[in-house]
Amino acid sequence: MSTYFVIAVIVLVFVVIFQIAKASEYVSILKGEESSRKQNNKINGFLMIIFLVLGLIGVYYCHHILGGRVLGESGSKEGEKVDEMLHITLVITGIVFLITQILLFTFAYKFQEKENRKAFFFPHNNTMEVVWTVVPAIVLSVLVVIGLRNWFIFTGDAPKNALVVEVTGRQFGWIFRYPGKDKEFGKKYFRNIDPSTNSLGLVWADNKEFNQKADPAAYDDIVQEQTMYVIKNKPVKLIIGSRDVIHDVGLPHFRMKMDAVPGIPTTLWFTPKYTTAEMREKTGNANFQYEISCDQMCGNGHYSMKGVIEVVTREEYDAWMAKQKPYYYSAFPDKDPSAAPMTTPSKVDSAAPVKTASASAVLGGNQNKLK
């Protein structure tokens, strides 16, 4: 019902404006074009001042209501630099906005057409040209330098104690991989990808066709989908990639984003300041979640590509990690030593063929059997 009411109001406003325009046209015909034009000029000059005052009040009100409340406080220490850069930019552009808008509307009122007033022809002034070219160039250069400095920090080398997480985008979700006890990521190969048992294409077995040997480091990797766990006050380095098309890792609460490109790993790091529970208290929102979104149109299901980042304490993270099993055991439960006294991953060799998914299921190629 409210939608129909809004539509009706909009239509009514357009009708009123149209009728006023027609009435103004008829008045100009009756009073004479010259007289009507001068009267409209005075009215428009007065309206300029009204719009200036109401506009500035609206800008102040919107800033007062929405300032700092859209995303709230940055959830990362590095994100504070982004907020600082944004505030500097808003202050500089805000000052320019106020000066130019006040002059624009004031001049429209003050220098409106009057009897015995002639417009001054002012074609060129070298000094003014230099001023409004050089000053903006210097200011913008400073802003660019600040932005590049922050960019090089975020995408540069992470601290040595950083938690490393691999983030892989896919249509339409996120896959997170943690190194196992060996602190090393295992190799992966796209032809090994199987959406049901090997979503990253980890190299678990030999493959003579592609001249591959099983990578022992891949047996203890931990894979988690849609939810990533990180630690408060501990830097986290993201190694970002894609399994299919270009995605974009968007971290609005941490003020970060980075493209996820197939075959070209990118990196990003940040340090969470508050746990998820602390942010729920700070925001007063019991359902608050740190979000990871895809900021690059990636297909029909782009809208659904939302992941969750759980920021926890070190103790909570260790407890969570202790419950995780290597991804290899999820694909091959019979190899899990905790389930039954079966062959451990370190004893897997080419003599025991491991059947993986066909590449045709993922890439449209021929079926491959890893041996």
Rounded CA separation 265/344 (Å): 31
Phi-psi region of 226 (alpha: psi -120 to 50; beta: other; left: phi over 0): left
Chain-centroid distance, C-alpha 227 = 17
Average per-residue pLDDT for the chain: 84
Query: Tens digit of pLDDT for each residue in 357-366?
Result: 433 333 333 3
| CATH classification code of 163-361 | 2.60.40.420
| CA triple 112-118-120, angle to 5 deg | 95
Query: Tens digit of pLDDT for each residue in 54-113?
Result: 988 988 888 877 766 666 789 999 999 999 998 899 899 999 999 999 999 888 888 887
Q: What is the pLDDT of residue 33?
A: 64
Residue 225 has pLDDT above 70, yes or no: yes
Q: What is the pLDDT of residue 203?
A: 92
Least confident segment among 17-21, 29-33, 218-222, 332-336:
29-33
Q: What is the pLDDT of residue 27?
A: 66
Q: What is the mean pLDDT of residues 128-132?
A: 90
* Beta strand ranges found along the chain (DSSP E): 163-170, 173-178, 222-225, 227-231, 236-242, 247-251, 256-260, 266-270, 290-294, 306-312
Bridge partners, 165 (sequence order): 238
First-to-last CA distance in the chain? 65
Amino acid sitting at position 258:
M
Q: What is the pLDDT of residue 71?
A: 67
Question: Residue 30: which pLDDT band, with cuts at 50, 70 and 90?
Answer: low
Residue 128 has pLDDT above 80, yes or no: yes
Q: What is the pLDDT of residue 115?
A: 76
Question: Residue 43: which pLDDT band, with cuts at 50, 70 and 90?
Answer: confident
Q: Which two tokens stand for residue 346?
A: 């370190």
Q: What is the pLDDT of residue 369?
A: 35
**How is 224-266 classified by DSSP, letter by letter?**
EESEEEEETTS-EEEEEEESSS-EEEEEGGGTEEEEEBBTB-E
Q: What is the pLDDT of residue 354?
A: 41
Q: Which two tokens stand for residue 352?
A: 């025991």
Query: Tens digit of pLDDT for each residue in 261-310?
Result: 999 999 999 999 999 999 999 888 899 999 999 999 999 999 999 999 99
Question: Residue 141: which pLDDT band, with cuts at 50, 70 and 90?
Answer: very high
Percent of the chain at pLDDT exceeding 70: 86
Q: How far is CA 83 from CA 24, 76, 236, 283, 370, in A?
A: 49, 11, 20, 18, 50
Kindly give the residue spans of alpha helices, DSSP state H, lying in 228-359.
276-283, 314-323, 327-331
Residue 347 has pLDDT above 70, yes or no: no
**Dihedral Cα 257, 271, 265, 292, nearest 10 deg:** -40
Q: Which two tokens stand for residue 45?
A: 């000059």
pTM confidence score: 0.74
Q: What is the pLDDT of residue 14?
A: 84
